[in-house]
Every structure is written in C-alpha cells, then in structure tokens.
Amino acid sequence: MKSKLLLLAAFGLSAVPALAQDLPVAVVRCASLKDDGARLTCYDGIAAGLKQAAVAQPAAPAVVAAQPSAVTPAAPPPPVALPPAAPSPVAAKVAEFGADTMRKPEPERGAPAEVDEIKGTVAQVVFSPLNRFTVTLDNGQVWRQIDADTTKARFHKSGDAVTISRGAIGSYNLSLDGHDLVIFKVHRVR
C-alpha cells in the first residue's frame, strides 16, 4: 500500500516542475508585450489552456491508507498551453508589404464613402527658397508642393479657395478654384 502511495505521490509531483517552468515563462512573455490588446490575448491564451487542461484532466482516485484517515494525492497540474509569440515589427511590415495595391472589399451599406477630394480655404501660404509652396488650410491640414513639381504657384494670398483631389498612384493634386487647368502635385505634411 505504501508503494502505491509513493507511486501516486511521485506521479503527482512529477508534473509540478513542468508547470513551474512553463507558466512563469508564458506569463513573462505576456508581460513583455507592449500592445495592450496583444498582452490581453496572451493572458487569455494562458487561461484558456489551463481551463482546457483542467476539463480534460480526470479526477485522481482517492487512496485509502490502512489507517482510518483517507489520503488523497494531489492531482497533477494541467499542462500549460503557451500562446503563440507575437509577430515581430519586421514580420508585420513584411506582411503589410504591397497590401495597399490589393482590391479593397466593398464598403458596407450605410458606411461612409471614401473621400476623393476636399475643398478648403488657404489660411496661410509660405514659399521655400526653391519657390515651392506650403499651404495651411482653414481645417488645419498642411500641404506642401512636391519637389518634382516645377509648376510655379500663381497665388500669394490667404483666402483662396482650393480643391485637393486624389491623383494617380497615390498622389494628390491641388488646384485653385477657378483655375482648374493648373494642377500642383502636393503631399500632406500635417
């Protein structure tokens, strides 16, 4: 009877080192994640692994010793399922590479349509030494003429109405209202 007790106790304690090693490693890995959502998902993965293992683990039978008291050995702790490691920032950038050229899914009904152009009033105009302009619109957006655009700006005052629209291959065009034939290539600074 004593040999059975020792065998069960050894079996119950043999899983403790594995739990003692895996659980802290998993918790430390989760704690090191900077993103709140990723960290919570990591902890949830640990909890789900513990819960699943507890459900799958049958209850240990009670062992009755020769004495009147009953001895129940500790059930082996459930194995810890480690959550998958968070992808590195480089892996995330690699996964995103070229995705901007993929066809986007159709917007849901009632969802706002994508904006193809904005209209605004020039609050401020500043020219660089190369005669490239930077405009601040009344909505706070700042747009700068790109260096490759050599078109000379014909406006020098605040209050001009402008339209900024999408161009080809991710570019943007700025035109003065009333002067639609002159288009400046711009990019947003702020």
Encode 17-30: b = buried (16+ Cβ within 10 Å), e = exposed: eebeebbeebeebb
The mean pLDDT value for 7-19 works out to 39
The mean pLDDT value for 74-94 works out to 68
Q: The pTM is what?
A: 0.45
36-55 per-position pLDDT tens digit: 888 888 888 888 877 776 66
Tokens representing residue 28 in the block: 């430390």
Going through the chain in order, the beta strands assigned E by DSSP cover 63-64, 70-71, 117-127, 133-137, 142-145, 161-166, 172-176, 179-188
Residues composing the chain: 190
Residues of the chain with CATH 2.40.50: 117-188
**Amino acid of residue 150:** T
Helices (H) and strands (E) in the chain, counts: 4, 8
134-147 per-position pLDDT tens digit: 999 999 999 999 99
CATH number of 117-188: 2.40.50
The phi, psi pair for 90, rounded to 5°, reads -65, -45
